[in-house]
Structure 1
Amino acid sequence: MAFSGALTLTDLNDFISPSQACIKPVEQVNKEPQILGAASTEIHIDSTGSYYEVSAEGSSTTSGRKLEQAQISLNDCLACSGCITSAESVLITLQSHTEVLTFLESNALLDRASQKVPVLSIAPQTLASLAASVSLRTAVPTTPRQILRRVRVFCESVLGFAHVFDTTFARDLALREHVQEFEERRAQPESSTGQLPMLASACPGWICYAEKAHSEMLPFIARTKSPQQVMGTLVKNWMGQIWAKLPHEIYHVSVMPCYDKKLEASRSDFYNSVYSTRDVDCVITTGELELILNEKGWDLTSPVEGELDELPHLDWANKPQTISAATLPELITHPGTSSGSYLHSIIAHVTTTSPMPLVLSVKAMRNSDYEEYILRRESDQVEVFKGAKCYGFRNLQNVVRKVGKERGVRVGSGAAGRLAERAVVRRGKKSGDEGHAERGYDYVEVMACPGGCVNGGGQLKPITATLSDAEGYARDWEETGVMQNAKWGDKEWNKKVEESYWSVAQGQDKAAQLVGWVLDDLCPTDEGLGDVDINAENDACRKRLFRTNYRAVENDIVGLAVKW
């Protein structure tokens, strides 16, 4: 399995460099008792990669004792301070497409009463990547909506999934919670725990990096869950209620554009200890979904019946008794970015709630992945909001330093950066220069991948028919039956995926009404009359469902440190 290709701790580079030290201690099971006075030993590695403990005098591996290989799980990597995403290629046996297929096969053999309900949720960036690939192969424009319908038919008729959803309704709910959290922070004193600038929290690569390298940034990161984890809450709790199933009786698979989503789903914060189940049981990437399609001989270029039909809509006047893929709002769109539109949802909120007309200006900083958005009062051009879009680790590290400087926070250089004394200055103002200093950021949309989520490490790569071979000679790979993928990060290909993402027609939906029903079911009032106000009443329940926490990961090296 390939690396994510997006993350690093060393050097200003947007590509992973597996050069960090893993700090997981090596535990010897059934360790043999040490014999006093015995000869010293050393470790030899044979041609197959097996490890042998042999006498230091130079005995061969045939006379040595074969050692067991160290096992590293996703949870181990989440507790590690040495790297970010090395787990993407180290024993991810519980987060792979083969695991999904194995579960579906074994689940189908059980009697109906014992079977779990398999549910698949797909990110819109994944649909855009598949649609761009199909359009390129067929020379016929194919939309993400068509791909969703084709994937749904395949997953339900061939694989045996009971329901297939896209994650845009969960994203809509996450954006609403995001705006609510921003308002809460803006209303608090500057010295309080929840602070501005608020930094986006939907990218797990960024979260892992902050926890291990810049814990001084944790108070600024939004607590709102990502759409993947909000979808996990909806599937395991809300839909589970509708289907009369407990959380552990549902098997939830998500398809994401990023390998790091596997790490996110594996976090202990998203594990239900009561039912011993995770909100998302398994995460596969766009590429892994394509592997399943190919293994099962399914042609995604072939249309399916009714893929262009409008879906039947819910009866918005009355709360439905059942929710299915055919009635849940499909592919809800938001103006802004293809990485979730977090910044633009905040801008829209500030603009609509302002008592005076505001004007938005956009300023490119280093490149298109780093842009500043400023809202000014139309009357006097006074800045009332300043935000930024920051993609890729080169830009991200600059923003971390900028936020630290603005807030009087020492930016850590180690795995758990130190928090210094906060300067006794207002954010964005210097002593003796009142009213003239540049305004600090209020919000930053942060994504680890250059180009954002459409360029995630798990996305499909552009297929090129003619490439050079190892000696540099051009070769027609189609003639040899081999198709080569271009490298991750191809800008022209990303443009095509971006265009595909926005090819979904934007229309009005009734998601707000459905959000009310969701919260009514998950956070019922004492009277049970369905009078939950999503912005005020039962606030603690809403936060418990849709927010999470982060913690600094200390670099406490114990045992043998293994160099990757």
Structure 2
Amino acid sequence: MTFSGALTLTDLNDFITPSQACIKPVEQVKPKDLRKEPGAAASEILIDGSGTYYEVSQASGPGRRLEQAQISLNDCLACSGCITSAESVLISLQSHEEVLNFLEANSKEEEGKKKIPVISIAPQVLASLAASVAASSEASSSSSSPPVVTPLQILRRLRVFLKHTLGFSHIFDTTFARELALREHVKEFQERREKASQQSGKENRQPGDEEKGHFLPMLASACPGWICYAEKTHAEMMPFIANTKSPQQVMGTLVKEWMGKKWGKRADGIYHVCVMPCYDKKLEASRSDFYNELYATRDVDCVITTGELDAVLKEKGWDLSIAVDGEMNAEPELLPELIEHPGTSSGSYLQAVIDHLTKTSEMPLELSVKQIRNADYEEYELRQEDGQVVFKGAKCYGFRNLQNVVRKVGKESGVRVGIGAAGKLGGRVARKREKDEAPGQKLEYIEVMACPTGCVNGGGQLKAVGDGAWGDGGVKWGNREWTKRVEAMYWETGGNPDMSPELLREIEDAGLGLRTSYRAVESNVVGLAVKW
């Protein structure tokens, strides 16, 4: 399957594997005496039981083992042959084996040369593990209602395993980083809204003002699958995408800069691992924007998925269904645990904007939600008592809905869609639409995620497990009932809903950089060939 710049997503599966254009060829140079002569016997490719490829021909005698093509992160980031990364992409330096190898090597270093190993876990990962533990308990228990294991209990059991079995020094969840990201996100939205209000009164609006002003609608930037898709196929959407870092990268900034100073360590003296529900997070961590040139280190050194963490647990014989001493009274370190954010299980970005507008409004506002096509695309409106719409936002999940949203944004903003960076705001089109439409009629914010049903259904999450309703692990990916179960478990946090004002002020005073930038990626694919 190949993709063009004018990608049509009608019948496309939301989980996209690499296309033929994404396969990096390996040049096979034969010895001179084995090169084909006219009339020589044809060779064939055979695969042995281990999956190794051999070329066999009458001329060469015994089969010759062929080299395996490998795609590095740099290759993947430089290529536009696919839309998003997938499980089948070989990412040699972003794996649980790499983490285990580092931990073993680090433990043998001299005391002064050892790095501090830190791991941060996303709440969607905890929900997936909790759902898996619950399903397994149901399958093996004679009781009709075995006790529920909450994500908080999973986190604390993981803390014991990661610290005492693997050797991590510090274990966090990423909800505090998400709190910082949401606050910065709302701040950026307000900035854009004020600029949009100022620009709406300009009589001589010029093409390009949209890009300079970063106007509305603001599109969420926490999903790297969506960012990858936009950068490679819809560069005209770049001015609309938020510049706020995702919780993963905010956590990277916290660990390498703020915590590093508390521990008396430079950024290169810390090894930071994130556990995420999504394979695209590996690519996000590898962006050049998140590389510290001064200390030659990344904000997040390695990303592993829920499935990879589960593989390590199984390899070490650790059972998360078994309680650990003191798990209910364990004290968190430095950061509060599992802060609750109402809204969606994909980060609550839209809800954070709605809550801010509701709290700062001088008059009561009423929220209405309308499902447009399916549960993955909904529109939200805030209205005054007189019925006037003061805000319109949307939630858009899955690639099947993304293309429609891109078209809608282009139509409402006067941007030509699908033509790359040249698709800038046309002054005449924009003035006409502003004249015809009252404030509040156009979308101002969209929470965008590449996976259907959002992050709890990420490509790196665990598949359904157990017997009966959940099968034997061979359930089709994206099973809706299983996703609903993980979603329900996500809200059984049992975490801390409170925030520490003192801690927030301390971090705000630290002046950490919580924003980044995104840019168009020029296509380097010609037909089925990739320019490497």
In the superposition, the TM-score normalised over structure 1's length comes to 0.81
SS in structure 2 at match of 1:399: helix
Residue 524 (structure 2) aligns with: 556
Residue range with higher mean Cα deviation, 14-23 or 86-95: 14-23
Q: Which ranges of structure 1 fall in alignment gaps of 5 or more residues?
A: 1-7, 312-324, 468-475, 478-482, 524-541
Q: CA deviation at 1:269?
A: 1.0
Q: CA deviation at 1:355?
A: 1.8
Residue 510 (structure 1) aligns with: 499
Residue 241 (structure 1) aligns with: 261
Q: Percent of aligned pairs with the same residue? A: 59
Q: How many residues align?
A: 497
| Cα pair distance change 1:145/1:492, threshold 3 Å | same
Residue 309 (structure 1) aligns with: 329
Residue 403 (structure 1) aligns with: 409
SS in structure 2 at match of 1:22: helix
| AA matched with 1:439 | Q
User: Could you tell me which of 431, 438, 441 is aligned with 1:439?
Assistant: 441
Deviations 1:497-518, CA, capped at 9 Å, x for gaps: 1111111247542344312212
Maintained 8 Å contact 2:391/2:440: no
Distance 1:229 1:134 in 2: 29
SS in structure 2 at match of 1:224: coil
Maintained 8 Å contact 1:155/1:164: yes
Distance 2:117 2:99 in 1: 10
Residue 367 (structure 2) aligns with: 360
Structure 1 residue 204 and structure 2 residue 211: aligned? no
Maintained 8 Å contact 2:177/2:250: yes
Deviations 1:256-296, CA, capped at 9 Å, x for gaps: 11111111111111111211111111111111111111100
Deviations 1:507-552, CA, capped at 9 Å, x for gaps: 542344312212323x3xxxxxxxxxxxxxxxxxx5xx11111111
Distance 2:130 2:254 in 1: 26
Residue 533 (structure 1) aligns with: none
Maintained 8 Å contact 1:26/1:560: no
| AA matched with 1:282 | C
How do 1:399-548 and structure 2 match up within 5 A? 399-412=405-418, 416=420, 418-420=422-424, 422-426=426-430, 429=433, 433=436, 435=438, 439-465=441-467, 483-505=472-494, 508-521=497-510, 523=511, 542=512, 545-548=513-516
| AA matched with 1:239 | M
| AA matched with 1:422 | G
Q: CA deviation at 1:465?
A: 2.5
Maintained 8 Å contact 2:14/2:398: no
Deviations 1:68-113, CA, capped at 9 Å, x for gaps: 4443211211111110334642321211111111111111111221
SS in structure 2 at match of 1:357: coil
Distance 1:147 1:88 in 2: 25
User: Could you tell me which of 148, 152, 175 is aligned with 1:168?
Assistant: 175
Maintained 8 Å contact 2:273/2:300: yes
SS in structure 2 at match of 1:238: helix
Structure 1 residue 339 and structure 2 residue 346: aligned? yes
Q: CA deviation at 1:132?
A: 1.4
Task: Give the aligned CA root-mean-square deviation in angstroms.
Answer: 3.2
Structure 1 residue 231 and structure 2 residue 251: aligned? yes
| Cα pair distance change 1:389/1:98, threshold 3 Å | same
Structure 1 residue 132 and structure 2 residue 100: aligned? no
Structure 1 residue 146 and structure 2 residue 166: aligned? no
User: Could you tell me which of 164, 187, 192 is aligned with 1:157?
Assistant: 164
SS in structure 2 at match of 1:47: strand
How do 1:22-61 and structure 2 match up within 5 A? 22=21, 46-48=45-47, 50=53, 60-61=59-60
Maintained 8 Å contact 1:24/1:559: no
Structure 1 residue 278 and structure 2 residue 277: aligned? no
How do 1:374-385 and structure 2 match up within 5 A? 374-378=381-385, 380-385=386-391
Distance 1:95 1:455 in 2: 21
| Cα pair distance change 1:291/1:23, threshold 3 Å | closer
| Cα pair distance change 1:42/1:180, threshold 3 Å | farther
Residue 388 (structure 1) aligns with: 394
Distance 2:9 2:177 in 1: 34
Maintained 8 Å contact 2:14/2:400: no
Maintained 8 Å contact 1:411/1:417: no
| Cα pair distance change 1:417/1:31, threshold 3 Å | farther
Maintained 8 Å contact 1:14/1:392: no
SS in structure 2 at match of 1:412: coil
Residue 203 (structure 2) aligns with: none
Q: Which ranges of structure 2 fall in alignment gaps of 5 or more residues?
A: 1-6, 138-145, 201-208
SS in structure 2 at match of 1:174: helix
| Cα pair distance change 1:364/1:240, threshold 3 Å | same
Maintained 8 Å contact 2:9/2:400: no
| Cα pair distance change 1:156/1:381, threshold 3 Å | same
Distance 2:339 2:527 in 1: 49
Distance 1:43 1:9 in 2: 40
SS in structure 1 at match of 2:113: coil
| AA matched with 1:457 | G
| AA matched with 1:89 | S
| AA matched with 1:134 | V
Q: CA deviation at 1:63?
A: 9.6
Q: CA deviation at 1:559?
A: 11
Maintained 8 Å contact 2:407/2:417: yes
Distance 1:386 1:515 in 2: 30
| Cα pair distance change 1:462/1:18, threshold 3 Å | closer
| Cα pair distance change 1:18/1:332, threshold 3 Å | closer
Residue 193 (structure 2) aligns with: 186
Maintained 8 Å contact 2:392/2:440: no
| Cα pair distance change 1:504/1:25, threshold 3 Å | closer
| Cα pair distance change 1:41/1:100, threshold 3 Å | farther
Q: CA deviation at 1:388?
A: 0.4
Distance 1:43 1:520 in 2: 71
Q: CA deviation at 1:417?
A: 6.3
Structure 1 residue 373 and structure 2 residue 372: aligned? no
Distance 2:42 2:271 in 1: 43
SS in structure 2 at match of 1:387: strand
Residue 100 (structure 1) aligns with: 99
Deviations 1:445-489, CA, capped at 9 Å, x for gaps: 00111111111111111114369xxxxxxxx98xxxxx4331221
SS in structure 2 at match of 1:253: strand
| AA matched with 2:263 | W
Maintained 8 Å contact 1:80/1:555: yes
Q: CA deviation at 1:66?
A: 7.4
| Cα pair distance change 1:182/1:27, threshold 3 Å | same
Distance 2:311 2:445 in 1: 38
Maintained 8 Å contact 2:337/2:496: no
Distance 2:42 2:240 in 1: 46
Residue range with higher mean Cα deviation, 295-304 or 492-501: 492-501
Structure 1 residue 294 and structure 2 residue 314: aligned? yes
Structure 1 residue 75 and structure 2 residue 81: aligned? no
| Cα pair distance change 1:50/1:133, threshold 3 Å | closer
In the superposition, the TM-score normalised over structure 2's length comes to 0.85
Maintained 8 Å contact 2:18/2:86: no
| AA matched with 1:492 | E
